[in-house]
Structure 1
Amino acid sequence: MSYRLVSCLTISKDSVSAQAFYISPLELEFPLLLLLPLFAELIVQQHLMRYKRTYRYDAVFALGFVTVYDQLMEGFPSDEDRDTIFQAYIKALKEDPEQYRTDALKLEEWACSQTSSSLVEFPSRDGEVEAILKDIAERAGGKGSFSYSRFFAVGLFRLLELANATEPTVLEKLCAALNINKRSVDRNLDVYRNLLSKLVQAKELLKEYVDREKKKREERSETQKANEVVKNCLGEYQYVIQ
């Protein structure tokens, strides 16, 4: 069963981004609809970040958002629906979904080839990703527009994760190299970990619901088939006795 997004969301319309997402002509399969209120709230919050005077898109922020989004949508069967919501969400913010995906992949591939040491040594090295990180560090240091956010913190965490940089001091060194307040990062990562824990529980409940509904549909289908068999048998019997 499909539903139009406009018929199932009740969200704040205080932001243009929220309205754009709200009226997107999406056709989505249940149970993806259960997550739409969450995305609606996220986009209202992200709208405030997006239109701050100091906001400027960067690849670490994109990596953080893509990481959160993919974890939220993990386990859902329809790749098409996942991509549809992603496209609608980013376009509602008047940004480029392909750029988000491309930059996130670029940073992931780079981080996979790094070590705990090389990850924090980007200021002294050359390369495309190193240049991106240097630009962020310069802007965060007060020489340009930079707006820290929770998604940026998640992006940093993802870099550490892919580089297998498990030592606590690595995050401290990376924050220092990027001119980012580590306390803010720690606080946001605690929120992120708590979100992941709740998400696991929510997905378990959702899976139980989906399995239960699937079983009901199968039972209804079997009952319908049995009724058709009985009906056909009765029809043949009536034909014989005529």
Structure 2
Amino acid sequence: MDKVRTVSDTKRDFYTHHTRPINSIYRRFIEELLVEMHLLSVNVDFRYDPIFALGVVTSFERFIQGYQPEKDKDSIFSALCHSVGGNAEQYQQEAQSLLTQVQGMSILEFMEILKVASSRMPGDGILSEIFQAIAQNAQFKYSRLFTVGLYTLVVKIAPNLVENKEQRNQIFDLISEVFHLSSEKIEKDLELYRSNLDKMEQLLAVTEDMLEAERKKQRKAIQQTQITDSYINLTNDHQDDSTNS
């Protein structure tokens, strides 16, 4: 029997592929995402799908915004995917493909695709095929990242609608019914996701204010040094003139 990979194995693999230090502000998020992806990857019922991929890509992009150095972001994401046996390019391509699929789609059309998946009638298009495969999988393994992926699709289709909690719940109640999921669990995960986004944005704003204050302090110190140097030069020039005369 193959040995089940541990969290330590996955973390070791991650830091083998991304060898640079992780920016301290983002370290907790990255490690939590890594653990979440690991636990799913070793679950016998878990099956990778493009909606999950969209959830991973969206979570990473939203919570990693502002990361410095910027060039490390691709390396971190690649290491995340590789450490759980995935491929970063596949995640990104399939996530983008899903967003392209719903471009220009109305929320009513989206809900109709869901209803068709629930009825087991033949569907049309990649999104319909994905929905049907999930709806007909009695062992489907739910994850928070799957819900983030669905939420991202809904935001893409109707960005203003998702701010209305009643209408948002109506859509996700249908989703939970079609996929045989707990509506309470979905709502709780969505609220946590949105709340964490708000907290991250606040943290980044505070951090930026602190960095700007430090930059101003440094500029002031440089200006003061330049003034002092100019004064010293003028004094030396004056002393030289006095000596020469």
Alignment TM-score, normalising by the size of structure 2: 0.77
Alignment deviations for residues 135-170 of structure 1 (CA, whole Å, 9 cap, x no partner): 22233x34xxx3211011111111122221653322
Amino acid at match of 2:40: M
Alpha-carbon separation, structure 2, partners of 1:97 and 1:207: 29
Amino acid at match of 1:21: F
Tell me how far apart the structure 1 counterparts of residues 153 and 106 of structure 2 sit (CA, whole Å): 10
User: Deviation of residue 215 (structure 1)?
Assistant: 1.6
1:73 matched to 2:71: no
Most deviating of 86-95 and 59-68: 86-95
Inter-partner Cα distance in structure 2 for 1:131 and 1:62: 16
Provide the secondary structure at the position in 2 that maps to 1:172.
helix
Query: For 1:183-229, what per-residue CA distance to the aligned partner results, in whole angstroms no more than 9, with x for missing partners?
Result: 32122112212212322322222122221222222223323333443
1:17 equivalent among 10, 14, 38: 10
* 8 Å CA contact retained: 2:29, 2:63: no
Give, as a single letter, the amino acid of the residue that structure 2 aligns with 1:181. S
CA, structure 1 residues 121+214, in 2 after alignment: closer, same or farther (shift >3 Å)? same
Question: Closer, same or farther in 2 for the Cα pair 1:153/1:230, shift >3 Å?
Answer: same
Does the alignment pair 1:36 with 2:27? yes
Matches within 5 A, 1:29-178: 32-76=23-67, 79-122=70-113, 123=117, 124-139=122-137, 141-142=138-139, 146-164=140-158, 166=162, 167=167, 168-178=169-179
Matched positions, count: 223
Alpha-carbon distance between aligned partners in 2 of 1:149 and 1:69, rounded to the nearest angstrom? 15
| In structure 2, distance between residues paired with 1:94 and 1:219 | 50
Q: How has the CA–CA distance of structure 1 residues 53 and 231 changed in structure 2, closer, same or farther, with 3 Å as cutoff?
A: farther
Check 1:56–1:211 CA distance in 2 against 1; reply closer, same or farther (3 A cut): same
Deviations 1:14-39, CA, capped at 9 Å, x for gaps = 422222233422266xxx43212331
Distance 1:81 1:169, change over 3 A: same
Structure with the greater alpha carbon radius of gyration = 2
CA contact (8 A) 1:160 1:171 kept: no
Which whole-Å CA distance do the structure 2 matches of 1:20 and 1:234 have between them?
62
Mark the CA change 1:54 to 1:102 in structure 2 (over 3 Å): closer, same or farther. Answer: same
CA distance in 2, matches of 1:217, 1:92: 41
User: Aligned partners of 1:169 and 1:22: how far apart in 2?
Assistant: 42
Structure 2 unaligned residues grouped into runs of 5+:
1-5
**Structure 1 runs not aligned, ≥5 long:** 1-12
Q: Distance in 2 between matches of 1:90 and 1:225?
A: 50
Q: Contact between 2:7 and 2:38, CA under 8 Å: does it hold in 1?
A: no
Task: For 1:158, give the aligned amino acid.
Answer: T
Residue identity matched to 2:157: A
- Partners of 2:236 and 2:47 in 1: CA distance: 72
1:117 to partner: Cα distance: 2.3
Residues 1:204 and 2:205 are matched in the alignment: yes
What is the one-letter code of the residue matched to 2:77? F
Give the TM-score normalised by the residue count of structure 1.
0.78
